[in-house]
Amino acid sequence: MGVHAAFIDFRRTFDLVDHNILLNELAVMNINKPFWLWIKSFLSGRVQQVNLNGTLLIHCNVPGRSPARLCNISHSFHSDDCTQHQIVSVDSNSNLQQSINEVNNWAVLNKMAINGKETKDMWISFTDAIPEPPRLRIGNELIERVNVFKLLGVSFQNNLKWNAHVEEITRKANKRLYHLRKCMKSQLPVEVGIITYQSKILEYASPVWAGLPNYLRDEIERVQSRSLRIFGLEKYYLPPLNERREEAISREVDRFMNDPNHPCHSVLPKLINNQYNLRNIDRNRNNQYIILLRN
């Protein structure tokens, strides 16, 4: 099994959104009429202006609507990008190019444009049984295939490892130690420094990437150790960051296990009940070992 993913970026989303198309789409969605009228009022005859050295810059900062859902392709949308992926089994082929074509047609129809240079393609597979699909295209433009892509602040690799993400967050965290040194030079209470440190801990989306091997886990723990040394504190003054991440994972897993409507609920493996009594088996084996030793 493999996963074919496309990270689509739309060019100048906020500037290109057509207000009339947006209002029509909202009407088709049958949203509450007073709310629709409020949005219409907000978009009609209103602009955002920024004064830069006497020059007024005008922006139409409005959200864009997502393209329609396509068959067997999973989507996630934000205001200026769209992520698509398809699970490709051994006996099937990737249909992601067809999906890209549909998104591009939607963009043209709605007066939007896909940014081909910022759009990326990734293939994730650990078997040679599935041939690598051809690189995707937007029209005649070939999309770059990448091994690492940063999506919503998390760096994903095509080998499903977290080296790139840990390297990025530790690099940023080490730069932010400057704030802690400023706290000490200002002779602020240690408690203020600790609060400052905890506000800078980079644990964003940790339930996704927290399952780390020891060597990556230790890289993150070293950041905390350096931070505590700035305050003259032992590294055991605060609980290990790994414990915080494990608690976050437990909370998130409990949440989607107990919520049938959660997007992750459908991918949970089915519970299997068996009648094996492992405790009795172990006791019988231990008794056999004792008899053998006595003999």
CA dihedral sign of residues 93, 94, 97, 98: positive
pLDDT at 193 over 70: yes
69 or 207: which leads in pLDDT: 207
Percent of the chain residues past pLDDT 90, beyond the cut? 14
Statement: residue 290 has pLDDT above 50: no
d(CA 159, CA 123): 9
Q: Model confidence at 281, in pLDDT bands (50, 70, 90)?
A: low
Residue 78 — very low, low, confident or very high, per pLDDT cuts 50/70/90? Answer: low
Question: Is the pLDDT confidence value at 114 over 60?
Answer: yes
Task: Tell me the three-class secondary structure of 224-277, residue by residue.
Answer: HHHHHHHCCCCHHHCCCHHHHHHHHHHHHHHHHHCCCCCCCHHHCCCCCCCCCC
More reliable by pLDDT, 287 or 234: 234
Q: What is the pLDDT of residue 234?
A: 85
Q: What is the mean pLDDT of residues 227-255?
A: 86
Between 212 and 77, residue with greater pLDDT: 212
pLDDT category at 295 given cuts 50, 70, 90 is very low
> Does residue 156 contact residue 148 with C-beta atoms inside 8 Å?
yes
pLDDT tens per residue across span 152-187: 888 999 998 999 999 998 898 888 888 888 888 888
